[in-house]
């Protein structure tokens, strides 16, 4: 439906980012990194929910000490987030970290940058550099925000390129969605490094999910973005479902089955909201029992007359009317039932379609 | 930041749609329209939440009977949603409805279309026509979905234009976001009718909010869309907050104050999630007490060292560290406090900025 922007590929351990690889989901632990057991428990929880790559803060020597255990136990690649202290980067690399987030502009003189580039180069791990609207250098502050972000990020890239290092991923984050989108667009015209996209400081889930969905979604639909993070002021587990839904909406992951359901209106003669929620619940139960539903699309419609036709591309559908429901497959009605009987039959048909998850 | 596509303006009673007017928010009642009191109560609730234009289903004569009372009592313009029966359109127009949603292709012969166009023309009210992936004519089904939607909608427009009627608004809805976005883009290259945008059958709020945010947001950020509806399988009141958030994220409405807050990480030494939620709660309480907060941006940050600088564009901010918080205004620290004292001081500063809502 739309073309993805071609970026050069990098590898974060076993996960390729850019170069046409599937868009991956990132999050960041909020445990004290020095507490390896707590951090690993959180990483495992996030990985089970669908997180592909995890970042951990490495603020001090105690955090570095925990890295070998975290890296060894993590089911997904681990990136170290480092502010200012280049020595922490060097020891994190020595500990076997799969990627580094650091801005060379923040670590001091060029010799330190050279050392980080050399160590990361020898270990063959990528470095994410980036710009954040909250920490732009003064010299760029008079520019429009998007251009300032681009110039600042390019400057970070140049500092590493000077030492022959090109294993780079880039982020450009503003808390305004419009500036974020404009910045990534402008950057992609300059440079083919893979892009880590997200909207920064988007707030609590109440508002931050929509804000992130608009920003990340708009970028993905322009073909931009190789890895995403939905940043929320919330437990990181709350970041994963919206990230999956955004990829889904952008047509970059398929949630199977997709459940479509129509809005209610003054014509609806059944409790459609309750019915749609029962169907979602049913699918969730089947999935958590380790089974995989083989239907691509399931429809829950509020009208027995128009529903089957409107949802004719659904593999299975249920449409509710006054005191009855009809079930249909690809637009063809297969039976009319009372609501209780119809739902049970529907459940059986879905279960019948299943196979164990680890097939 | 981005250019809005120029459409021709139409008016739905006192609300302009298109032609550079602010993007309006629509929803649809799910009461039985014939029950005027229940329908009006729901319209008032939705209007208070921020709904600009309401649509009601008009499936029968009983619904039409209720329209004069609904129209007279509604604080926002009312659109009648009509399927198939052109006579219901004629009587709804006679009852003083502010707009009609009907597809001329569904109401029978050309003479009926002529009558609807003539009556709507005389009453000077717009008609929304459109295409929905669930009800495309067979002749377009072999086309790619986006093109089929465009051709189908253009055909509906032509049927009205034949009778000199151009007071038209258009929707093109698919349950796939990518097809929806592609369809509106293609349509806008053909035609300057104002666009009603949304993603159809997006499901319950759990998934439908993100799906709508990606689709509607991506369109708005391309400059497309004059009025929006977030369709959810839920009570219509749940559609309004996400709609406002989407407009907000796209830079088309300003929620004041905007509250930004950073994600948590292994460096955060304060319960940032709880703090951000307390701030949101505080703002909600102030607003529901009828006061308007005059600050444009409020920041809630997890780091006393970097927070004030990163959020230097915030009018007021609170940053939390180990057993203390700092307050800051536009990047300048104005004091260091215990958490309880700091929050109280913060509350006082916000209250001090307020004016009564009806100033």
Domain ranges for chain B? 10-249, 258-356
Enter the pTM of the model.
Answer: 0.91
Distance, in Å, from the CA atom of A100 to the CA atom of A127, rounded to the nearest integer, reads 5
Distance CA B229, CA B53 (A): 10
Q: Touching check for B260 and chain A: CB below 8 Å? A: yes
Percentage of chain B lying above the pLDDT 70 cut: 98
List the structure tokens of B5.
Answer: 């596509």
Give the pLDDT band of residue A359 (cuts 50, 70, 90): very low
Residue of A30, A246, A266, A310 to mutate, testing the B interface (most B Cβ within 10 Å of its Cβ): A266
Residue with tokens 């929905």: B132
Q: Which residue in A201, A220, A278 has the most chain B C-beta atoms within 10 A of its own C-beta, making it the best mutation to test that interface?
A: A201
Give domain A258-356's CATH superfamily.
Sulfite Reductase Hemoprotein, domain 1 (3.30.413.10)
CB B217 within 8 Å of CB A214: yes
Nearest CA in chain B to A202: B260
Per the CB < 8 A criterion, the answer to whether B302 and B286 are in contact is no
B286-342 pLDDT, tens digit each: 888 878 888 989 999 988 888 888 888 899 999 988 888 999 999 899 999 998 899
Rg (CA), chain B: 24
Chain B neighbors of A83, CB-CB under 8 A: 306
User: What are the tokens at B240?
Assistant: 């309004």
User: How far is Cα B47 from Cα B67, in angstroms, rounded to an integer?
Assistant: 17
**Across B90-101, average pLDDT:** 98
Q: Which of A204, A267, A272 lies nearest to residue B59, judging by beta carbons?
A: A267
Average pLDDT estimate for A50-61: 96
| Cα–Cα distance for residue pair A162/A157, rounded to 1 Å | 9
- Biggest alpha carbon distance in chain B? 77
Weakest mean pLDDT among A136-150, A324-338, B255-269: B255-269
Q: Which residues on chain B are in Cβ contact (under 8 Å) with A214?
A: 213-214, 216-218, 220-221, 246, 249-250
Q: In this complex, is the C-beta atom of B221 within 8 Å of any C-beta atom belonging to chain A?
A: yes
Q: ipTM value, please give it.
A: 0.91
Q: Nearest residue on chain A to B265, judged by CA atoms?
A: A30
Question: CB distance from A322 to chain B under 8 Å?
Answer: no
Query: What's the rounded Cα separation, in Å, for the pair A19 and B256?
Result: 41
DSSP string, A196-217: EE--TTB-SHHHHHHHHHHHHH
Is the Cβ–Cβ distance between B230 and B218 less than 8 Å? no
Residue B359 has pLDDT above 50, yes or no: no
Closest by Cα among A170, A127, A168, A126 to A149 = A170
Kindly give the interhelix angle for A110-123 and A145-161, rounded to the nearest 10 degrees. Answer: 70
Q: Could you tell me the sign of the dihedral formed by the alpha carbons of A224, A45, A249, B50, in that order?
A: negative
Residues of B in contact with A249 (CB under 8 A): 177, 210-211, 214-215
The interface residues of chain B toward chain A in range 289-308, judged by CB-CB distance below 8 A, are 299-300, 306
- Contact residues on chain B for A209, CB-CB shorter than 8 A: 209-210, 213
Mean pLDDT across chain B: 92
Residue-wise pLDDT for A116-168, tens only, equals: 999 999 999 999 999 998 889 999 989 999 999 999 999 999 999 999 999 99
Q: Is the pLDDT of residue A358 over 60?
A: no
Residue pair A239/A230 in contact by the 8 Å Cβ criterion:
yes
> Following DSSP, what letter does each residue of A283-332 receive, concatenated?
HHHHHHTTEE---SEEEEES-TTTHHHHTTT-SEEEEEETTEEEEEETTE
Does domain B10-249 sit in CATH 3.20.20.20?
yes
Q: Is A124 left (phi over 0), alpha (psi -120 to 50) or beta?
A: left
pLDDT, tens digit, 9 for 90 and up, residues A229-262 = 999 999 999 999 999 999 999 999 987 788 888 8
pLDDT band at B12, cuts 50/70/90? very high
Which contiguous run of DSSP H or E holds residue A341? helix A339-352
């Amino acid at each position: 439906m739309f073309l993805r922007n071609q970026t050069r590929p990098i590898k974060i351990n076993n996960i390729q980012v850019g170069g046409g690889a599937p868009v991956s989901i990132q999050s960041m632990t909020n445990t004290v990194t020095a507490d390896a057991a707590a951090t690993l428990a959180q990483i495992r929880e996030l990985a089970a929910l669908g997180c592909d790559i995890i970042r951990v803060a490495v603020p001090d020597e105690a955090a570095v000490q925990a890295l070998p255990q975290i890296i060894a136990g993590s089911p997904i690649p681990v990136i170290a987030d480092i502010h200012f202290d280049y020595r922490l980067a060097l020891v994190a690399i020595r500990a076997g970290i799969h990627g580094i987030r650091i801005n060379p502009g923040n670590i001091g003189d060029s010799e330190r940058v050279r050392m980080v580039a050399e160590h990361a180069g020898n270990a063959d791990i990528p470095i994410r550099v980036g710009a954040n609207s909250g920490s732009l250098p003064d010299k760029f502050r008079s520019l429009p925000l998007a251009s300032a972000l681009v110039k600042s990020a390019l400057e970070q890239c140049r500092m590493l390129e000077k030492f022959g290092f090109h294993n780079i991923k880039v982020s450009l984050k503003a808390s305004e969605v419009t500036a974020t989108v404009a910045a990534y667009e402008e950057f992609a015209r300059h440079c083919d490094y893979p892009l880590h996209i997200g909207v920064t400081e988007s707030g609590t889930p109440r508002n931050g999910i929509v804000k992130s969905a608009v920003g990340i979604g708009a970028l993905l639909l322009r073909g931009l973005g190789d890895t995403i993070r939905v940043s929320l002021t919330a437990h990181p587990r709350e970041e994963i479902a919206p990230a999956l839904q955004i990829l889904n909406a952008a047509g970059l992951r398929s949630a199977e089955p997709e459940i479509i359901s129509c809005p209610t209106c003054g014509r609806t003669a059944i409790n459609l909201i309750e019915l749609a929620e029962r169907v979602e619940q049913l699918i969730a139960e089947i999935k958590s029992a380790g089974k995989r539903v083989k239907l691509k699309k399931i429809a829950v419609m509020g009208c027995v007359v128009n529903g089957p036709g409107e949802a004719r591309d659904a593999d299975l559908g249920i449409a509710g009317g006054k005191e009855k429901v009809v079930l249909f497959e690809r637009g063809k009605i297969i039976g009319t039932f009372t609501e209780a009987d119809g739902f049970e039959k529907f459940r059986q048909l879905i279960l019948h379609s299943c196979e164990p998850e680890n097939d």
